[in-house]
Amino acid sequence: DIQMTQSPSSLSASVGDRVTITCRASQSIANYLNWYQQKPGEAPKLLIYAASSLQSGVPSRFSGSGSGTDFTLTISSLQPEDFATYYCQQTYTTPTRTFGHGTKVEVK
Amino acid sequence: EVQLVESGGGLVQPGGSLRLSCAASGLTFSSSAMSWVRQAPGEGLEWVSSIDGSGANTYYADSVRGRFTISRDNSRNTLYLQMNSLRAEDTAIYYCARIVYCGSVSCNYFDHWGQGNLVTVSS
């Protein structure tokens, strides 16, 4: 099974900060990597698919990069509505899909 | 506007059964592959099961295979998850989600999610 490791598990940041979250796969998954945002009490929301494609309607301050085993989600300038938990998801082994354990972005 | 509305959750005793439903609107349901994803209290996301648009092909996580059954009724635009032999570790919020494919089998993502339905397994 492919394991997905996110780091850090949590971080504290201020509005306007540049935030970077990393997701590492235990083996190569090409670019089959998605990113989701989840706020408390809400369903996850798709941000990025196929490692770097921005989902329609998602602000351009969100970007994704990487391929193989190492991936990054970047928020270029953190906004108040961005405080949430972020999950990566590999789909290389579809139909089985694995999520990372999440990264919580908190107010500094 | 795509809407996915889950129902059928609640409290059930260990060893019991429950059936979740997910009513879909605003999409061509019979052409949409669908999935169930769960989230235990305070924990991360876990893919549970998926089904193709026709219902002919179904897939399960090892943790639920043999106990859960995914199905769909395209005439009612509804997705189901029949959960049998429930265990305490099945306690979670269950989400239904639409799967979108982006060029290959491995390129896919969940673009629309329901609001979630809580299942609690406890005596």
Q: Which neighbouring-strand residues pair with B21?
A: B7, B80
- Taking CB atoms and an 8 Å cutoff, what residues of chain B touch A10? none
Which of A54, A58, A89, A91 is the mutation pick for testing B, counting most B CBs within 10 A?
A: A91
Do the strands B45-51 and B107-113 form a parallel or antiparallel pair, or are they unpaired? unpaired
CB contact under 8 A, A91 and B109: yes
Q: What are the Cα distances from residue A9, in Å, to A6, A23, A28, B76?
A: 7, 10, 22, 41
Q: Which neighbouring-strand residues pair with B45?
A: B39
Chain length of chain B: 123
Render pLDDT for B91-121 as a digit per residue (tens, 0 to 9): 999 999 999 999 888 999 999 999 999 999 9
Residue whose C-alpha is closest to residue B49's, from B77, B82, B17: B82
| The token pair that represents A57 in the structure block | 């309607």
pLDDT at A78: 97
pLDDT at B77: 98
DSSP state of A82: G
Give the nearest partner residue to B46 out of A92, A95, A99, using CB atoms: A99
Q: If you average pLDDT over residues A8-27, what whole number do you get?
A: 98
pLDDT-flagged residues of chain B (< 70): none
Residue whose C-alpha is closest to residue A9's, from A76, A100, A71, A80: A100
- Taking CB atoms and an 8 Å cutoff, what residues of chain B touch A43? 95, 113-116
